[in-house]
Structure 1
Amino acid sequence: MSPQPRLVLNVDDTEAVRYAKTRTLQRAGYEVIEAGTGADALRLVDEREPSVVLLDVKLPDYSGIEICRIIKRDRPWILVLQVSASFVASADKARGLDSGADSYMAQPAEPEELVAAVRALFRLHDAENALRRLNDELEQRVADRTRELADSNARLQAEILERAKAEAALVQSQKMEAVGQLTGGIAHDFNNLLAAVVGGLSLIQRRSKEQPIVELAGHAMHAAQRGVKLISQLLAFSRTQELEAKPVDVNGLILGMQNLLVQSIGPTVAISTDLDPQAGHVLADANQLELALVNLAINARDAMAGNGRITLSTKVEPQPGSALKWIVVAVEDDGPGMPDAVRERAFDPFFTTKPAGQGTGLGLSQVYGVARQLGGRATIESQEGRGTKVMILLPQAQDFEAPILAAPLKDVPGGNGETVLLIEDDDDVRRVLSDALVELGYQIAVAENGVEAIAIVEGSPVDVVVLDYVMPGMTGAETAKRLKAIRPDLPIVFASGHADTRALADVPGAHRLLRKPFAFDELAQRLREELTRGA
């Protein structure tokens, strides 16, 4: 049985990624069938005999490497293009090609790159079929053999060129990943710097009796908070920011970001709101929702060439077949609108209508991804000459308790002489936190690393620990585990400027986390909670 012409089997366990690749290939004229597991992939290979298999390396039941070996063992004429978003090193590529794969590509890939890679495999498939026919008809078509082999060689040369382009794209992808990791590290360092700045300003506000100084400290604190927001955006770019879905007053969020919108899009664009008073609260990450709305507003400004009106609106809609409701958050402009072909691809990663160098094509795809990650979805309404409306549908928060606002520092109960062990490797942050803890009425013991902290707990009475998460040598999570082994009942409050804190899940009973930079009222409140709980 020979493979069916132009039939591609797309194997990927992530539905959104699988859908995007299928849609791209269908638009290029290929018939595509899908599988979400290795077992389904092998079944479809038996039933449909595709010409090309687009195979994800990481599957829930089998490894893509193993599936490739089985396909190549039983049907060597089927061509396999392995793809991966996780295994992109040279060794990973070599392992994939050694398993029999005909090509290897890192995800995410631009649609044009994916189509070009599949087209190259079909050219290789056609060349192999041509050679097979030549062998079958060798005696009858000796005169044509040289021409056919020359054509085959040309196609193989084209395949070499396509593979070279794919390797260049892989290098670019690795560079972007390195930039993301660098950005995350820089953001962590800036969080530590801001922690010292915010802490020092808090002490000035608390200790100073002169109103002009208090006001100046307040202005500086406002600027520092803007720095905190910038760091949050850097972490979002580096994809290390964890989304925290909490009840958010969506109308209040939109009204509170009016100044930010004016600064972002300029004075030549008018901004208006149409807010449903019944919208209430949505389950969202406030920082990421605000960032998405700002990005949509900037896109709208660019579409209107800097002149026009942007309207931010909210409304309540029922969820079909459910008692729950959607809160629709929309950004609408009166610009030129989108042609149907552009609107259909607007959420596709790397798709952009802007000139080269003026857009990455990731803005709308990030909005779509945030909406999906928060349990909602994103849609677009647009017609040429009638503007564009991008809508983010998020679930309405149900039966939540309004957050209790932290009291000002002077109203938060301080310490009663309890001993706080402060473990912090940054000198500036350690000095500021030490001053704050003394100001709050605590006795302090100080350690610069986990080894010093363990010695203190073994030899001195300690009531509660404030522990930095990221430290050289023994990490915060490792230190906490050692301290818990000595004192299982010892309360631990983590203070972290790092975004990725998944290792805390392995620390028993030590999940109280303060995000740097934090105000001292937060620190005071958290310490009283821990000491009261342990009493």
Structure 2
Amino acid sequence: MLDGAGLAYRLDRTMTREAFTAAAVERRHDLILADYVLPTFDGLSALAIAREHCPEIPFVFVSGTLGEDIAVEALKNGATDYVTKQRLDRLPRVIVRALAEAQAHSKRRAAEQALRALNETLEMRVSERTRELADANAALRRQIVERERVEEALRQAQRLEAVGQLTSGVAHDFNNLLTVIAGNIEFLARAVTDERSQRRLEMMRGAAERGARLTAQLLAFSRRQRLDPVPVRLNETAASMRDLLQSSIGGAVRIEMTLQPDLWPALVDATQIELIILNLAINARDAMAVGGCLTIETANVRLSAAPSRPEEPPPGEYAMIAVSDTGSGIPADVLQRVFEPFFTTKEVGKGSGLGLAQVYGFAKQSGGGVRIETKLGEGTTVRVYLPRVAAEACSEPTAPSELDCAALRKPGDKPVLLVVDDDSAVREITATKLSEAGYVTREAGSGLAAIHILEHDPCFDLVVVDFAMPGMNGVEVAAEIRRSWPTIPVIFVTGYADQTALTRGGIGEERIVQKPFLDGELERKVAAALHAQRVPGLKLVASR
């Protein structure tokens, strides 16, 4: 019947229970055709063996004695179908249908198994994906926070830089005005004899000096002040200031000091660091009620993290000095602006708003930085990080060069000075003060004019030059003088001084005079420079 239907097949025939069981266990057949009456067992027993060992293989009864009741029971027990021997023509169709159903069942079982596996891993995969999304969200939030922090730090740095440029320019021009005022006050004081006028002039001189101190604070913020960095032992500085601090903040505030014994020396301006400590102590006093405690702490600090705010120090090694109070703390909105000059929360007349601005400028110009830790109602700590002293580089001294002006000078001639300043009023004050001090002065209104004068007459004993001039500035004038006339010393007069530029120009502290001129500083430094240059025979020796 199968051959007649054109079905391709391979037939394995078994007769006994043992042989059938062995074939069922192997599961290598696509279909089982079973008679109901067998020599050693029956068809239902064969069905039971097949259900146990190969339930996925279709089982079809082909029998001549299979009654309706037995057929129904066989189908209930798992038989796929049955064919009576009287109707064998149905066999090919039954086989094709049974194989198709078996294939469909197989696919369905595979799908169900895959679904079960999917369901079993779904929760784990959902959890894993949820965790990945949460991590990505957290990373994104961190990036947003970091970007906002960097943008805010950049805005603050740009704001402080803009304010610094403005204040440095204002301070320079203001110093020029104060130079004219203070110089004329000094000239008038010599001509006025009545006591009332002298008193008024003294009041004017005091106002000019206060203006000079104000511009010094502005220059400190804009990092244009003149610093003389030397190795400083902060422990000794802080300890020596205890009495001054106690008298400045009053007896109602207790002072404590926590000083690290092996503190590194700091490379800073010794005078300025004392002013910084005093400024911070006064700020701390104003933030505390009666009975507060002010603590001064020192420590060696190594920083590796990049600064998160403009005022913070870069990575490096620092000698740190901190001033802490038990006051009211600083609100967040105020903390964002505490380093801006003239910003203050104090009453009118109670503060200039330049204290922390000066601290900021001094720390940054020294190569360090500032950090503020504050908590409302508990107090504030201001930490100033100052660069530790490094091994000093040794350099061979340059041999001085000489310019012999003996042939052009007569014994007893007064020293001849060249005064260079683009501000005619300031230049007139400078020249007048030097003339009254016993020098012969010539004037130049620009750096280029000074070079032209020297080209025609190089025998000047000294050049006094303003640092900030349009066109050719004071550093450039000094550099040209060093190249062409290396024996002529240079003195700077300036409203502000960029220490780096002056260092490149070969000018030291003893060759810089701050405007406005106070207490005869100009005359003293000019005399000292001339004395250092003068040797027998009227030869001028330039010190590098």
Q: Report the TM-score when normalising by structure 2.
A: 0.48
Larger relative contact order, structure 1 or 2 (CA cutoff 8 Å, min sep 6): 2
Q: Report the TM-score when normalising by structure 1.
A: 0.49
- Rg larger in structure: 2
